[in-house]
Each structure stands twice: as structure tokens, then as C-alpha cells.
Amino acid sequence: MDYHTLSKEELIAHINELENKPYGLVWEKREEFIPQNITLRHNHEHHILKAQGQPTHTLIEGENLYALTLLKKHIYDSLDVICFVPPYFTRNNDLRYTDNFSSNKKNQFKYSEWINFMYHRLVIAKDLLKQDGFIAVHIDEKMHPYLQLLMNDIFGESNFVSDITWQNKYGRANDKKTISSLTEYILIYAKNQKNIQFARTALNQEYVNKTYKNHDNDKRGAWRTSQLYKDKNQKSYKVTSPCGVEWEKPWNVTPETFVKLAYDNRIWWGKDGTAQPRKKIFLAESNGQVEINLWTGKEYGYVGDGKTELEKWIPLKGKFLYPKPVQLEKKILSLHPNKNAKIMDFFAGSGTLGQAVMELNEEDGGKRECLLITNNENNIFDEITYPRLRNVIESRGFKENWLCYHLEHEKDPL
């Protein structure tokens, strides 16, 4: 920003904006060029039509900000999940898709161009989400703090859901002088925290076999127990076991509820009936377990797995350096309980999310549909994104459809 060109009123407004920002990011907000008359043209030769009544996905080739601007008019408040990998910091000087942005001497704040770039896209992304939708953004440790503060600004700190730590590398890099990083992060925010609901994960079978038993041959099947009191509970009262042993604790339930649990054989007093009472939790009534924020590479893939998967579908070794593993993307998508979810990735890159959606549909019978957006810089659409999706469909026999579009608009005057 050239302060010499600003009027007195503009300078006062800018100073007030900075002074009234108590914490968070400060960067130079700049408008990006948005062309008039943005349209989508069918790319008929790239359409993949397999079966009527099956999920129909959309692949758009073009500048993602332009596409998002157009889509806001048509799919406002309609997406369940947005998931993408933004450009990380690189030494490349492409100011649209990398972040040696701080090398631009016009910028007064570090990473200002990258933050501005992300800001405009995330603002629209929020508008496209349903009230019970969420956004998941991959990021490395360098840009993580900036992205989290930016997303706090846009989505609101109260809508922060989780900061997933993903083990993206198998082993350490011993050429590092300090500490070798083995992780990246996935920031998840809700459109509205009050409305969001995540699917619970299935219980691990090894855990089930070890934990759930049926010591009393209950007709409802295997069960485990949970503690029935907490020291912080305010009121205590006495209960008596079938053998006459009394226990006085600050129980989690009222005396009336305790009686009902006992009558329904949901209290376990131990094999001889004298142990401290515990509540029976039946496996048949379990709805799974809540997700955790530590995801290992062993379970969800390492960055090398993503590269191996990509090279299985397209013969371009080294063309796309760091694609995410399909298993990782499927894990993110499975957090949403709707198996017919509408999903978007506006940095589609190698097309991993598209493959993940199709695989997940095959696995659980869902009919999720996704919308991918990518430009064609370095022929990424022609040589990577589209060929991968086409080859996956043909090889795996997926009966899903893809409609492909080219974004048309007037030229950027700059």
C-alpha cells in the first residue's frame, strides 16, 4: 500500500482499522481482479458418463477465485464439506500460487500476499457451506499459525472444531540441524458449531474383544462397565448391593435413576455381588467412539503413499510432488454423517479428493457428489487431474459420472 497516495480520510480509516484490531492478523487487504461475464462452457469431449441415477460430479478448469465467485450465485449455503490443500510456502515467485509473497517489497507485513490470497477464497467458501457443514484445510507447520488466525477471523473462533495432527512422514530427516518434522495439520472449522454433528468411528475390534464381556450371560450380549460417580459431584447417597453391602458416593445419577438401572440389570456389583457398583454399557447399544485429533501415517497413509497412488494412475513421475493419500482424504470425508454429502475442493491439484469420494461411495453405498476446481498451469488439468479421474473410473469400474467445464471470462487487465 502506497500511503503517499491516500487521502487524509483514507489514512485515518486505515489507522483506525489497525488500532481497533486487538489481536490476530494484520495484513494489507487488496482486492483481486474479478472479471465480468464469468461463464461455464461444457467440455463435452471430457465428460465421463457411466450410468443414470448415479452420482454426477463436476470438474471445472479455470481460476478458482473466478469459479467461486460464479458458484456463489448458484450454490450458496449448499455444501456439506469443503476440503483442500492450499499452496504452501515455496521459493517460487508465482505470486498467485506460492508464498515467497513476502519478497514483494510493496508488502508491509510478512506473508501479506499469501494471507490476502487465502482470505478472498475462504470468505466465499464460508458462504457456500451449509449451516451444518464444515471446512478442512491442510497446512504445514510454517503457515499453520497464520492460517488459523485467518480462519478465526473469517469463521469465528467459536466455530473452530479441531486441529488434526497428521503424521505425514515415516522417519526423521537426520540432515536437520534442530528438529525433524514428521507432521502436518488439518484445520477444521464449522459454518455453525451449534449445528454440526460428526460421525463416530467404529470400535476397534481388538478393543472390543479385550473390553466387552458377558460375565452374567445377559441376553443383551457383551458389555463393559463405566464408573458411576465423580468426586466433584455435589451430593452423595447410599446404595446397597444385592448382598447387603452399602456404598456411599457422589453418584452420577439421581437415586431414582439408580433404582431404575438396577431394576434393568444395568448395574454390575462384581461376580460375588460385593464390589463397588459400576454401570453396564452394552456393545449392541454403542454408536461408536468419538474421533481424536492425532492421525498416524500407518492408519491413514504417509505423503509417500499419495505419490505412489498418483503414479499408479498417470505415468508422470515427479510431476506432482506431494499429493495427499486417498485414505487420508476418505477419513476427512467420513467425518460427515451424510453419505449423500455435497463436497468441494477448489485446489483440486492431482484429483485425490475426487478419487476418495468415488472410493468411499463404493465402500459404504453412499451417493456423495463432489465439485473440483483446478487451473491448467503446467498442464495440470490436461496431464494430471482429468487423466487420473478417468483412469481410476475405467480401471476400477466405477459407475459414476463426471461433467467437465471450462471457465470463460474476460482477460485480467494486469
Give the C-alpha separation, 101 to 263, whole Å.
68
pLDDT (average), residues 173-186:
90
Q: What pLDDT shows up at residue 317?
A: 65
75 alpha carbon, distance to own chain's centre: 20
Q: What are phi and psi of 104, to 5 degrees?
A: -70, 110
* Contact (CB, 8 A) for 135 and 155: yes
Helices and strands in the chain: count of H runs, count of E runs: 12, 15
For residue 129, CA distances in Å to 78, 132, 188, 312, 344 come to 6, 8, 13, 33, 10
Q: What is the DSSP string of 324-368?
A: PPHHHHHHHHTTSS-TT-EEEESS-TT-HHHHHHHHHHHHH----
Top CATH class of 36-201+290-408 equals: alpha beta
Would you place residue 107 in the very low, low, confident or very high pLDDT band (cuts 50, 70, 90)? Answer: low
Q: What pLDDT shows up at residue 98?
A: 41
pLDDT digits (tens, 9 = 90+) for 288-303: 889 999 999 999 999 9
Would you place residue 414 in the very low, low, confident or very high pLDDT band (cuts 50, 70, 90)? Answer: low
Q: What pLDDT shows up at residue 232?
A: 93
* Contact (CB, 8 A) for 41 and 123: no
Would you place residue 150 in the very low, low, confident or very high pLDDT band (cuts 50, 70, 90)? Answer: very high
**Does the pLDDT at position 213 exceed 70?**
yes
Q: What percentage of the chain carries pLDDT values higher than 70?
A: 91
Q: What pLDDT shows up at residue 2?
A: 67
**Does the pLDDT at position 175 exceed 90?**
no
Beta strands in 31-78 (DSSP E): 39-42, 56-61
* Contact (CB, 8 A) for 47 and 168: no
Instruction: List every span in the chain annotated with CATH 3.40.50.150.
Output: 36-201+290-408
Please state, rounded to an integer, the average pLDDT across all residues of the chain. Answer: 90
**Does the pLDDT at position 24 exceed 80?**
no
Give the C-alpha separation, 367 to 225, whole Å.
38
Give the C-alpha separation, 324 to 138, whole Å.
9
Q: What is the pTM of this model?
A: 0.83
Length of the chain: 414
**Does the pLDDT at position 226 exceed 70?**
yes
71 closest CA partner among 371, 352, 377: 371
Q: Give Cβ neighbours of residue 365 (< 8 Å, ≥ 6 apart).
A: 339
